[in-house]
Chain A
Amino acid sequence: MNTLYKRLLGGKSGLTNLVVLAVLLLLVLPLSLDIFRLNLVGKYLTFAFVALGLVLLWGKAGVLSLGQGVFFGLGGYCMAMFLKLEASDPVSTKIQSTPGIPDFMDWNQFTHLPAFWVPFRHLPFSLCAVIALPVLVAGVVGFAMFRRRVGGVYFAIITQALALLLSLGIDGNQGYTGGRNGITDLRTLWGWDIRSNSAQYTLYFATCALLIMLIMAGQWLLSGKMGKLLNAMRDREDRVRFSGYDVSAIKVFIFCLAAGLSGLGGALFVLQVGFISPSLVGIIPSIEMVIFAAVGGRSSLYGAVYGALVVNTAKSLFSESLPQLWLFLMGGLFIAVVVLFPNGLAGAWELGKRKAGPLLEKIKSRRRILLPDAPLVSAFEQEKS
């Protein structure tokens, strides 16, 4: 039981963090925000999945990937393809020249569904593909790269190239993928209308629950041998290699894990927001996902969630009111987080706790000194007697 407490919940501080996050996400936000803004928060939380993967990959293992948008997009597109096929049944598409296929295929004069779309008619396959496809791609890329000891900057640039490749590939093939507009007009998930308010509440709570469970799972992973190995790999990779560990296999594992998390985030994004497009797959969103992790504190799992929430909220607020200022702020945020606050919000929190600790002790010890001097009988009672 003690091990469970320490490993799954992260000890006393981990438990506090967990409780605070749970209360915030499951009580405070749903009660204080209307459904529209809660849906926005749900969208930000799907980015937190990607940030979580990045904390494991970058903060803990030291591998920076600037192409997480690829996996987010792959997961999202798998889910979107299933939802689109469901929304394109022959009855609702009877005005098309070829009923039964999605509208963008009809616009491109397709007469039948392309082969790779057909398996996405089935929900179990789609659900598996949401996780399996990003993991597969990550496995292939990771294996090819890490076996050859490609790391650091080269790896980051190649992941950027991958993001560009996928976004261009999707963009240029409107018939197969919906092109630049993406896949839109999604309505029901196996008969359940995902656009209704009750569905949005359900999806929000499901996202929160999944996120919290995954954080605990990440905590459990990091508290064991894997956590130590990742730390060691980040700091002195050659020593880990000389000690006999297969560094490339560990890196591939973490890369696939991060990819799976991002894919899951993508699928939840599609369910909550109702569409997906190449604008969530390319270079710019991928780098933004890195900044979510960086602002929250790149080695803190809870930081990933807070970072995603804070940056996205700031983005919405500022681009509504001061659009000219927003890019300056975002650029400044990148620079500040890298140069001044490498440990992000989590680092600030730790600093605050460290500074607050001696202060609290001083207050406590003052009370202990004051109390013995207090009179045994109060002044009022002395007067009376």
Chain B
Amino acid sequence: MWNGIGRSRRKHLVNNPTKTIPMSQYSASELWSIFIMQGFSGLSLFSVLLLMALGLAIIFGQMGVVNLAHGEFMALGAYVVYLCSEVVHNHFPALVPFYFIIAIVIAFFTAALVGLLVEWSLIRFLYRRPLDTLLATWGLSLIMQQTFRSVFGAREVTPALPEWLMGSFKPTDSIDIPINGVFVMGLTLCLTAAVWLFMYRSRIGLHMRATVQNRVMSGAVGINTQWVDRFTFCLGCGIAGVAGAAFTTIGSTGPDSGSRYIVDTFLVVVFGGTTSLMGTIASAFGIAQGQSISGFFLEGTMGKVAILLTIIIVLMIRPKGLFASKLRS
């Protein structure tokens, strides 16, 4: 991030980290580079938030199930990629350049399987009791966190990333775009498109939407609503696993990585209007850019506090979110 800024400015910022420089003191090209890089980091944050929120939007938005263990499913995906990385590097060195994509697919299925187990053993008893699901899934998240801690240790781990993910693009001298950011964005785009196609253009997606809108009639028409619920939950968890796998490219994973993102994820989903996929996309974009910009001009956590405050105030004014559709409840 420091690359585009002149040396004297860098020195000023390093020596006085709390004193931000007013915008007028930057030159035009420096400002332009800064905006491009901030915009890109905002886009990067957007794709991260959207990946996390997509799975939750499906589970919470479609089923009304509050899964506070969603972050732990993401951590599960990350740990699966780490495991694959260890196995491949130790036993199948020939596969090293290709393993990452396969690992992501394995992460998807592992998370979906664990989600199936969780749904079968816990969630299906609590469908009509959303507040109780909240507490039960928090308990589940504690259990999962401790499992990670016991199995993988309390230190953070990173899989060995393949060569093609390292380094960055340099389109001009002062603009520095990291490749893993581009990878995450690309993955998010593909996943969002896939989810949209699945929900709105496939038979199973049709069943899912029908069950959400009118459970009784869907059952009467012959849709197995129990299996649709189970499937929806697994899909949401699988997407969380892929999100976790993608995060290994931008950060390390520890037992409590999941809990770091859970509140943000929920806010993104609730802010956008839980029943609307478009809403989730829009709210992820808004929150990410807002956080990125305010994080630059305010210090440290205050940027995040400002954004949180804005979200809460907007939710107080419009509690169903920005893009809430009017459903007969």
Contact = CB atoms under 8 A, between A and B. Distances in A.
Interface of A: 64, 66, 141, 144-145, 148-150, 152-154, 156-158, 160-162, 164-165, 168-169, 171-173, 283, 287, 290-291, 294, 324, 327-328, 330-335, 337-339, 342
B263 A172 contact: no
A50 B256 CA distance: 26
A164 B122 contact: no
B134 A339 contact: no
Given A148-B319, A153-B66, A335-B122, A168 B136 contact: no
Interface residues of B, number: 41
Given A328-B143, A335-B139, A161 B308 contact: yes
6 contacts: A156-B131, A157-B66, A168-B304, A328-B142, A334-B140, A338-B136
B143 A153 contact: no
Given A153-B134, A164-B263, A283-B263, A327 B142 contact: yes
Interface stretch (B178-186, B188-196, B213-221, B310-318): B310-318
Interface string B291-302: 000000001111
Contact of B301 (A157, A168, A290): A168
Nearest to A330: B142
Contact of B146 (A291, A331, A333): A331
B212 to A, nearest CB: 16
Contact of A339 (B136, B266, B305, B319): B136
B270 interface: yes
A143 to B, nearest CB: 9
Residue from A157, A160, A168 whose CB has the most chain B CB atoms within 10 Å:
A157
A158 B140 contact: no
B266 A334 contact: no
Contacts of B320: 154
B136 A334 contact: yes
A144 B136 contact: no
Given A157-B263, A338-B139, 12 more contacts: A150-B316, A157-B66, A160-B263, A164-B308, A173-B302, A324-B146, A328-B142, A328-B143, A331-B143, A331-B144, A335-B140, A339-B122
B278 interface: no
Interface string B120-160: 00100110001110111011111111100110000000000
B87 interface: no
A117 to B, nearest CB: 19
B308 A335 contact: no
Interface string B254-288: 00000000010011001000000000000000000
Main secondary structure of the interface of A (DSSP, over half): helix
B312 A161 contact: yes
B309 interface: yes
Contact of B267 (A156, A157, A287): A157
A290 B132 CA distance: 11
Which 10 pairs from chain A and chain B are nearest by CB?
Answer: A334-B139, A331-B142, A172-B301, A331-B143, A327-B146, A144-B316, A150-B319, A331-B139, A335-B139, A338-B136
Nearest to A149: B319
B104 to A, nearest CB: 28
B31 to A, nearest CB: 27
Contacts of A328: 142-143, 146
A331 B141 contact: yes
Contacts of A165: 305, 308-309, 312
B328 to A, nearest CB: 15
Residue from A145, A158, A162 whose CB has the most chain B CB atoms within 10 Å:
A158
A333 B263 contact: no
Given A157-B266, A165-B312, A145 B319 contact: yes
A66 B130 CA distance: 14
B135 A172 contact: no
A330 B142 CA distance: 7
Interface string B229-257: 00000000000000000000000000000
Nearest to B318: A148
Contacts of A338: 126, 132, 135-136, 139
A158 B132 contact: no
A46 B39 CA distance: 47
Nearest to A283: B263
Contact of A327 (B145, B266, B309): B145
Contacts of B132: 338-339, 342
A238 to B, nearest CB: 11
Interface in B205-230: none
Contacts of A173: 302
Contacts of B315: 150, 154, 158
A169 B305 contact: yes
Contacts of B316: 141, 144-145, 148, 150, 158
Residue from A161, A171, A324, A337 whose CB has the most chain B CB atoms within 10 Å:
A161
A283 B258 CA distance: 14
A30 to B, nearest CB: 34
Contacts of B312: 158, 161-162, 165
A276 to B, nearest CB: 19
Interface in B33-91: 64, 66
A73 to B, nearest CB: 15
Nearest to B308: A165
Residue from A150, A287, A332, A334 whose CB has the most chain B CB atoms within 10 Å:
A334
A324 B255 CA distance: 13
A196 B166 CA distance: 60
